[in-house]
Structure 1
Amino acid sequence: MEKKVRVIIPNYNGLDFLTECIKSLKKQTCDCFDILVVDNGSDDGSRQWLKKNKIPSLFLTRNRGFAGGVNAGIRISNTKYIILLNNDTIVFEDFVENLLKRIETSDRIFAVNPMMIQAHRRELIDDAGDGYSIMGWAYQRGTGEKTDCYEKAEFIFSACAGASIYRTDLVKKFGLFDEMHFAYLEDIDLSYRARLAGCIIIYEPKAKVYHLGSATSGSKYNPFKVRLTARNNIYLNYKNQSDLQLFINALPLILGIVLKGVFFLKKGFLKDYIAGIIEGVCTFKKCRRVDFEKVPIYRIMAVEFELLLGALRYTVHFIKRRL
């Protein structure tokens, strides 16, 4: 029987996490899916373990990053839906079932984000969907807040590609994940394109997953992550905002860059942050930009309004976490 869903797990030296992740998938309440691990050139024994345990896998010869890895898996997938799942996750038994139920309620739904819960503090949210602001700041909804504060399904700006379900045909139609990103913000970039195309994205709290977090990069902040995120922010704004939007949003975007610079100065990563900004400014013209002539003005205005709301929500969340 042909499967409706493919779960794609990108892996780079994640052997310590793969066992529990795959074990949890084998306990699902439905059997409408298959699994594909995309190994990004691991050298920690992951490949040998996957072969020994006969886990369906695609072995890449080098590390192509999150975007390149999942794209390789998506290109060879013909299921109606794909679930992208980080290797450092443990899913609840009805995870796949609840994601599938939600995305099938409307053809307009591009993606559904589950309730991602902190693995080491299981009463707290890790990610309840991603947001984006007019200042160019991406943020995870609900991070550090109680899980019972996010028990309602709702519209969100972006799905986190660490544990979300997508319509395969639309992911391919919108150009897959941008491999210029390599890693970080590529999921917000893709969701942004989907929103401009008129799709919606939903947060579904009935689908739950524990997430360890930063298993591949090693920590919340490190030189690699800071540099790539700074660079990719430049890409994201250039690709998904029209020239008029960039002109209107110039001041808040510049303010956002400066404030982040102050933040990373205090964290000891200013040099890496500046390097990322410079790289982004020097290379953004290589990005594939949205064809705004095909996007109705009302959609651009609707997204612009969401960016304004995103700044407000980010501020409220920032204050709540420090009270």
Structure 2
Amino acid sequence: MKRIAAVVVTYNRLDDLKKCLVSLQTQTRQLDTIYVVNNGSTDGTSEWLAKQSDLTVLTQANLGGAGGFATGIAQAYHDEYDGIWCMDDDCLATPNALDNLLCSPNIGPCIKNSVSLSSQLNDELAFFVDLPNKAFRHAADMASFDMLFGVAALFNGTLISSEVIKTIGVPDKKLFIWGDEVEYMSRAQKMGFPVVTIPKSIFYHPPSVDRDGIPWPGAWKNYYRIRNERRVFQNAHGNKYGFIMFLFWSIRATFNQLAAFRKNRMYNFLLFAEASFDSLLNNFRKRPETIFTLRLYRFMHK
């Protein structure tokens, strides 16, 4: 029987973490172990985790979701688990979520993902999917499929085969947040591993916050989404052509911010420009406190 480990990354969401862990501990297919990667939480999470004897806790500075999953996946792979089931701390798995992933058709080494439904509107997807010939917005849109190839919202109920990790490695911790999951998915596909969603395996997750544009100051997270996109283009199209495609895509995305007529559109424009420029210069060192546009916004709104 395959040995399956869960990896949960957490940062300052203790109440959510507790609920997430209960949903994992009550799976119909019992997990072999649960790793919790604590990204330097300051809300009492560290103290609570220290009292839990049934968890394997990995503690580090806040390296974002990318750094958290890189640490957790690397440890679980080192400990020789066959499959590693990854999720954020604000996910809730239905009791048979893992069972349904494991009982889905065997397509060899791959990445299988649960469906993320909105925790606010249970019939709506937490992350909308737009394909060239179909848009997925509700659970019913996916219900007729046994599996959907090329569709996945990593890392929300993401089961990664150890064979995939052996070949492509772990998420790139330099990407920090937002886009690291897309880069990892595109890296797997580049190496020929299927990435699929299993509609019968269900998670609940807060809906995507970027459907209508994130209000400032929270919009700084878009910096990472734009900056990290260059790696996705290069995985899909090769280093040279992918770089050129990202250049033109980022210019268009940046100037579209001026035409969006949203509040704080000038800050959006500056943020997208900063992210694009840093990506083209291969500057992946910035943390939130060093993003120039965010510092400018905070200075102007003291």
Query: Same fold by TM (over 0.5)?
Result: yes
Aligned length: 270
What is the CA-CA distance between 1:255 and the residue it aligns to? 6.4
Give ranges in structure 2 of 5+ residues lacking alignment.
286-302
Q: How far, CA to CA, are the matches of 2:130 and 2:221 in structure 1?
A: 19
Q: How far, CA to CA, are the matches of 1:265 and 1:273 in structure 2?
A: 15
What is the CA-CA distance between 1:72 and the residue it aligns to? 1.0
Write the deviation string for residues 204-231 of structure 1: whole angstroms up to 9, x where unpaired.
111001102579xxx9552331111111
1:188 is matched with which residue: 171, 178, 182?
A: 182
Match in the other structure for 2:53: 54
Match in the other structure for 2:168: 174
Q: Does 85-94 or 32-41 show the bigger shift?
A: 32-41
Query: Which residues in structure 2 correspond to 1:136-151 (within 5 Å)?
Result: 142=136, 145-151=137-143
What is the CA-CA distance between 1:14 and the residue it aligns to? 1.3
Match in the other structure for 2:102: 100
What is the CA-CA distance between 1:91 and the residue it aligns to? 0.9
Match in the other structure for 2:227: 231
Write the deviation string for residues 108-149 of structure 1: whole angstroms up to 9, x where unpaired.
4x2112111100111211137x6799xxxxxxx73xx22111
Amino acid at match of 1:106: I
Amino acid at match of 2:117: I
Q: Is the 8 A contact 2:116 2:153 kept in 1?
A: no
Amino acid at match of 2:7: I
Query: Which residues in structure 2 correspond to 1:144-159 (within 5 Å)?
Result: 145-151=137-143, 152=145, 153-159=147-153
Q: Does 242-251 or 20-29 show the bigger shift?
A: 242-251
Distance 1:173 1:91, change over 3 A: same
Q: How far, CA to CA, are the matches of 2:226 and 2:74 in structure 1?
A: 28
2:262 is matched with which residue: 258, 266, 273?
A: 266
Match in the other structure for 1:80: 82
What is the CA-CA distance between 1:265 and the residue it aligns to? 6.2
Give ranges in structure 1 of 5+ residues lacking alignment.
134-140, 287-323
Amino acid at match of 1:150: M
Match in the other structure for 1:126: 126
Distance 1:238 1:248, change over 3 A: closer
Q: Is the 8 A contact 1:158 1:192 kept in 2?
A: no
Distance 1:84 1:13, change over 3 A: same
Q: Does 171-180 or 224-233 show the bigger shift?
A: 171-180
Match in the other structure for 1:204: 198
Q: Is the 8 A contact 1:39 1:57 kept in 2?
A: no
Match in the other structure for 1:306: none
Match in the other structure for 1:291: none
3-state SS in 2 of match to 1:202? strand
Q: CA RMSD in A?
A: 2.9
Distance 1:228 1:250, change over 3 A: closer
Q: How far, CA to CA, are the matches of 1:81 and 1:99 in structure 2?
A: 11
Distance 1:285 1:94, change over 3 A: closer
Distance 1:259 1:203, change over 3 A: farther
Q: Is the 8 A contact 1:90 1:209 kept in 2?
A: yes
Q: How far, CA to CA, are the matches of 1:223 and 1:14 in structure 2?
A: 20
Q: How far, CA to CA, are the matches of 1:180 and 1:265 in structure 2?
A: 32
Amino acid at match of 1:120: Q
Distance 1:5 1:42, change over 3 A: same
Q: Percent identity?
A: 21
Amino acid at match of 1:208: I
Write the deviation string for residues 79-111 of structure 1: whole angstroms up to 9, x where unpaired.
100011111011111011111222x61214x21
Match in the other structure for 2:112: 112
Q: Does 264-273 or 14-23 show the bigger shift?
A: 264-273
3-state SS in 2 of match to 1:266? coil
Q: How far, CA to CA, are the matches of 2:83 and 2:59 in structure 1?
A: 23
Distance 1:157 1:45, change over 3 A: same
What is the CA-CA distance between 1:254 and the residue it aligns to? 5.1
3-state SS in 1 of match to 2:282? helix
What is the CA-CA distance between 1:264 and the residue it aligns to? 6.3
Query: Which residues in structure 2 correspond to 1:27-38 (within 5 Å)?
Result: 27-38=26-37
Amino acid at match of 1:111: I
Q: Does 8-17 or 189-198 show the bigger shift?
A: 189-198
